[in-house]
């Protein structure tokens, strides 16, 4: 009977561990594939946004274009080596201007983008064609926007031809670590725009209109999803992470064969089945031996002792860390893994408390977790074990309150999370490298831009009005472009500094901070004839005074900049306590914001208006959001278009959380 129970326990333990490992393996694969799909989606979205901006700018300049416009298009087409051409066609489909002189005069009246906009003249979205062969047989994808004349009629298209290799590069950088993994990019009609691996571009242009997994993702209506099943492309059972771009009809897919994902799990399963078979054979042998000598009392007692030893061995050999300690933290039972990881003998562990195994910086958190388990019945958390050798081991612990011989104890297990921590550190280093790159790149661009600006301004002063009208226009374009690039670099530097700076938190009088921000904007306030008011008294919070001043200065400056014509700007700053936070509001009577743009305005370089209407780079609100997140808060906007906007900032109050010492003291008083 006992042997059967042992077999059942062993089967349950092995089955539980393998089930957890199975779902953990799949969950890890889903997380990896989703992260890769997300990174490709960011790159593709950024590239399409840049291309869309180029098309919009070209469309805006086309009505005033002249004989030198081809040279201008050639200059703009050099933004990337994978850009194959930039052309402008009139309402009949005849190419009037192009970065490739050989294309001027050709007709694109039968091209998909021209036909689309001719039949849908009110469509203001970016058109993305399926891959098709160009004049020289080279595969290309056309991005296009329509032209509208002054009467609102269709007047032609602006067309940008790019190579699929541009997207292939992004996909190649995001290959999953699993064998035979791949990634693909699907266009609006579910055509394959790019795929890796794809020797000879054999799959580009192939339709997945009947692709079950892609259809299942699109039918879900979600931006991100993970689907599993047999794929149409190669007939292999795969796990596929999809990511649909929010602004463009493009879907990214990163996949790996389920067999490759589960290969480590199958190896572990085989090993565990062998161990389980050994356990079953041992249990059968014990049962037969006990039945043969059941009448012999001494032998029966020996068999009972053997079974107890086996149970102890089974617990000791459990994977990970196993422990049992009393309410005072004194160890009662543990497995050999705990001795191996900590580097301490059984005698040493007998005389130690649970908290003694951890770094001093973690002991307060350990005491808090023990208190939580004793009061709520269960708990979990991360901590770093410090071995006798001084080596640090990060672990994830989970415990449960139980009664042993009438006294309260805690039983639990620990799982090694060193690989997860290493991955986390790698991501942090990667993010820091990206921030440093952005800072250094922007900083290094300042000097050559300053030289260019000086010579361009010198040309403007000396030759403005002395050459023909085209030269004046070109000089004006150059001056405006240099000034805009200078603003972009300055704002990028500001964003890099804010992103990299760890806030120095200390009590800050927000009334003084806002007053200083208003004083810094005195010239802009006077020029606009604005009225800026602080309603009531602003609180004192824990924060970084310099960053908070930048936050309020950005919001007040935006409120003045986006003012309504014919209306005196009025800005009001106020604050109120809402539970554990202070909610600040910056309210104006400006032009307002459409509700669908509330989330977009906080994205990097996102603008809702033309540069000629409202100057700026679109990075001020991004910096504001980063500052608020540094302080553990959140920022959002409400608005009534045409009447004004209100930006809300929720920041933690100084008295919103009890100190950690008080929590420990409460636990000690509750348990004597």
DSSP string, 574-640: EEEEETTEEEEEEEE-SS---GGGTTGGGSTT--SS-TTTS-S-S-HHHHHHHHHHHTT-EEEEEEE
Residues 621/507, Cβ–Cβ less than 8 Å: no
> Hey, which of 6-10, 599-603, 666-670 has the most confident mean pLDDT?
6-10
CATH classification at residue 632: 3.30.565.10
Which pLDDT belongs to residue 611? Answer: 45
Region 328-336: what's the mean pLDDT? Answer: 83
Shared-domain flag, residues 256 and 346: no
Tens of pLDDT, residue by residue over 545-556, are 888 888 898 899
DSSP string, 398-445: EEEEEEETTEEEEEEEEEE-HHHHHHHHHHHHHHHHHHHHHHHHHHHH
Q: Which of 583, 524, 562 is nearest to 643 (CA)?
A: 562
Confidence of residue 327 (pLDDT cuts 50, 70, 90): confident
pLDDT at 664 over 70: no
Q: Can you tell me the distance from the alpha carbon of 573 to that of 549, in angstroms, rounded to the nearest whole number?
A: 13
Place of tokens 């191996």: 340
Q: Is residue 86 part of a domain?
A: yes
Q: Is residue 145 part of a domain?
A: yes
Q: Is residue 286 part of a domain?
A: no
- Pull the structure tokens for residue 174: 């995001």
The sign of the torsion formed by the CA atoms of 426, 431, 434, 435 equals negative
The sign of the torsion formed by the CA atoms of 514, 515, 517, 522 equals positive
Confidence of residue 657 (pLDDT cuts 50, 70, 90): very low
Residues 474/464, Cβ–Cβ less than 8 Å: no
Tens of pLDDT, residue by residue over 566-582, are 889 999 999 999 888 99
CATH classification at residue 474: 1.10.287
Q: Can you tell me the distance from the alpha carbon of 208 to that of 231, in angstroms, rounded to the nearest whole number?
A: 10
Q: Is residue 553 part of a domain?
A: yes
- For 495, counting Cβ atoms within 10 Å of its Cβ (0-12 exposed, 13-18 middle, 19+ buried), the class is buried
Shared-domain flag, residues 100 and 111: yes
Shared-domain flag, residues 41 and 185: yes
Which domain range does residue 341 map to?
Answer: 319-416
Residues 624/603, Cβ–Cβ less than 8 Å: no
Shared-domain flag, residues 361 and 440: no
Element (H, E) at 648: strand 644-652
pLDDT at 43 over 70: yes
State yes or no: cis peptide before 197, omega within 30 of 0.
yes
> Hey, which of 307-311, 569-573, 667-671 has the most confident mean pLDDT?
569-573
Instruction: Pick the last residue of a domain from 364, 388, 416.
Output: 416
Which pLDDT belongs to residue 222? Answer: 92
Shared-domain flag, residues 392 and 474: no
Q: 522 CB contacts (<8 Å, ≥6 apart)?
A: none
The pTM of this model reads 0.42
Shared-domain flag, residues 349 and 407: yes
Q: Is residue 254 part of a domain?
A: yes
Residues 371/448, Cβ–Cβ less than 8 Å: no
Q: Can you tell me the distance from the alpha carbon of 43 to that of 166, in angstroms, rounded to the nearest whole number?
A: 10
Q: Can you tell me the distance from the alpha carbon of 52 to that of 12, in angstroms, rounded to the nearest whole number?
A: 58
Which pLDDT belongs to residue 181? Answer: 87
Shared-domain flag, residues 570 and 617: yes
CATH classification at residue 44: 3.30.450.20
Helix axis angle for 469-500 and 620-630, nearest 10°, is 0
Residues 3/290, Cβ–Cβ less than 8 Å: yes
Place of tokens 């091209």: 111
Which pLDDT belongs to residue 518? Answer: 92
Q: Is residue 205 part of a domain?
A: yes
Shared-domain flag, residues 215 and 142: yes
Q: Can you tell me the distance from the alpha carbon of 290 to that of 318, in angstroms, rounded to the nearest whole number?
A: 26
**Is residue 124 classed as helix, strand or coil in its secondary structure?**
coil
DSSP code of residue 575: E
Shared-domain flag, residues 349 and 332: yes
Confidence of residue 240 (pLDDT cuts 50, 70, 90): very high
The sign of the torsion formed by the CA atoms of 206, 210, 213, 217 equals positive
Shared-domain flag, residues 513 and 492: no
- Pull the structure tokens for residue 482: 């240099």
Shared-domain flag, residues 351 and 407: yes
Which pLDDT belongs to residue 659? Answer: 41
Shared-domain flag, residues 571 and 602: yes
Q: Is residue 175 part of a domain?
A: yes
Q: Is residue 300 part of a domain?
A: no
Q: 202 CB contacts (<8 Å, ≥6 apart)?
A: none
CA 255 to chain centre: 19
12-26, 356-370, 389-403, 635-649: lowest mean pLDDT where? 356-370
pLDDT at 511 over 90: yes
Which pLDDT belongs to residue 509? Answer: 93
DSSP string, 326-380: ETT-BEEEE-HHHHHHHT--HHHHHT-BGGGGB-HHHHHHHHHHHHHHHHHSEEE
Q: 351 CB contacts (<8 Å, ≥6 apart)?
A: none
Which pLDDT belongs to residue 609? Answer: 44
When the pLDDT of each residue in the chain is averaged and rounded to a whole number, the result is 80
Tens of pLDDT, residue by residue over 101-137, are 888 889 989 888 899 999 998 888 899 988 887 766 6
Instruction: Pick the last residue of a domain from 467, 500, 533.
Output: 500
**Is residue 126 classed as helix, strand or coil in its secondary structure?**
coil
Which pLDDT belongs to residue 235? Answer: 83
Instruction: Pick the last residue of a domain from 261, 289, 317.
Output: 317
Number of domains in the chain: 4
Which pLDDT belongs to residue 539? Answer: 92
Q: Can you tell me the distance from the alpha carbon of 70 to that of 93, in angstroms, rounded to the nearest whole number?
A: 17
- Pull the structure tokens for residue 453: 């600006």
């Amino acid at each position: 009977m006992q042997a059967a129970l042992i077999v059942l326990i062993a089967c349950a333990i092995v089955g539980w561990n393998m089930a957890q490992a199975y779902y953990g393996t799949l969950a890890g694969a889903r997380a990896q594939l989703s992260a890769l799909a997300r990174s490709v989606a960011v790159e593709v979205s950024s590239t399409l946004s840049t291309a869309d901006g180029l098309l919009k700018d070209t469309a805006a300049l086309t009505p005033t274009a002249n004989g030198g416009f081809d040279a201008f298009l050639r200059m703009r087409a050099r933004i990337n080596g994978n850009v194959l051409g930039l052309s402008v066609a009139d309402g009949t489909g005849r190419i009037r201007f192009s970065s490739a002189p050989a294309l001027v005069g050709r007709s694109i009246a039968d091209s998909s983008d021209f036909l689309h906009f001719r039949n849908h003249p009110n469509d203001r979205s970016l058109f993305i064609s399926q891959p098709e062969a160009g004049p020289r047989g080279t595969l290309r994808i056309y991005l296009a926007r329509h032209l509208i004349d002054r009467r609102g009629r269709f007047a032609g298209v602006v067309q940008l031809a790019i190579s699929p290799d541009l997207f292939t590069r992004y996909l190649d950088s995001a290959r999953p670590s699993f064998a035979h993994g791949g990634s693909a990019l699907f266009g609006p009609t579910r055509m394959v725009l790019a795929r890796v691996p794809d020797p000879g571009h054999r799959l580009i242009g192939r339709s997945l209109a009947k692709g079950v997994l892609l259809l299942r993702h699109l039918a879900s209506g979600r931006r991100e999803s993970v689907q599993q099943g047999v794929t149409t492309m190669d007939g292999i059972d795969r796990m596929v992470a999809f990511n649909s771009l929010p602004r463009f009809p493009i879907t990214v897919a990163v996949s790996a064969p389920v067999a490759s994902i589960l290969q480590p799990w199958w190896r572990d399963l085989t090993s565990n089945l062998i161990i389980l078979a050994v356990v079953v054979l041992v249990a059968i042998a014990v049962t037969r031996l006990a039945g043969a000598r059941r009448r012999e009392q001494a032998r029966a007692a020996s068999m009972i002792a053997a079974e107890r030893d086996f149970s102890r061995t089974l617990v000791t050999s459990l994977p990970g860390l196993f422990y049992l300690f009393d309410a005072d933290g004194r160890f009662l039972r543990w497995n050999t893994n705990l001795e191996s990881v900590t580097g301490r003998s059984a005698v040493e562990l007998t005389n130690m408390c649970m908290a003694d195994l951890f770094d001093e910086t973690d002991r307060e958190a350990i005491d808090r977790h023990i208190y939580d388990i004793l009061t709520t019945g269960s708990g979990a958390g991360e901590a770093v074990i410090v071995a006798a050798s001084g080596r640090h081991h990060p672990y994830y612990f989970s415990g449960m309150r139980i009664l042993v011989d009438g006294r309260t104890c805690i039983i639990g297990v620990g799982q090694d999370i060193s690989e997860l921590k290493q991955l986390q550190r790698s991501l942090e280093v990667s993010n820091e490298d990206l921030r440093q790159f952005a800072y250094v790149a922007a900083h290094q661009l300042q000097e050559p831009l300053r030289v260019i600006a000086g010579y361009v301004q010198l040309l403007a002063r000396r030759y403005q009005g002395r050459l023909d009208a085209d030269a004046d226009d070109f000089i004006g374009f150059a001056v405006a472009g240099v000034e805009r690039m200078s603003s972009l670099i300055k704002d990028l530097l500001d964003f890099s500094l804010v992103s990299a700076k760890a806030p120095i938190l200390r009590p800050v009088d927000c009334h003084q901070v806002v007053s200083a921000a208003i004083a810094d904007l005195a010239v802009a306030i006077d020029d606009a004839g604005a009225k800026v008011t602080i309603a009531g008294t602003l609180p004192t919070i824990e924060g970084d005074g310099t960053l908070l001043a930048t936050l309020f200065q950005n919001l007040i400056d935006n409120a003045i900049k986006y003012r309504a014509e014919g209306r005196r700007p009025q800005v009001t700053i106020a604050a109120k306590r809402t539970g554990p936070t202070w909610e600040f509001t910056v309210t104006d009577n400006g032009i307002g914001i459409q509700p669908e743009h509330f989330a977009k305005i906080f994205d990097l370089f996102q603008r809702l208006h033309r540069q000629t209407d409202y100057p700026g780079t679109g990075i001020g609100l991004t910096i504001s959001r980063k500052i608020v997140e540094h302080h553990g808060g959140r920022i959002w906007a409400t608005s009534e278009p045409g009447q004004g906007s209100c930006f809300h900032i929720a920041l933690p109050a100084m008295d919103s959380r009890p100190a950690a010492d008080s929590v420990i003291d409460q636990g000690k008083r509750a348990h004597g």
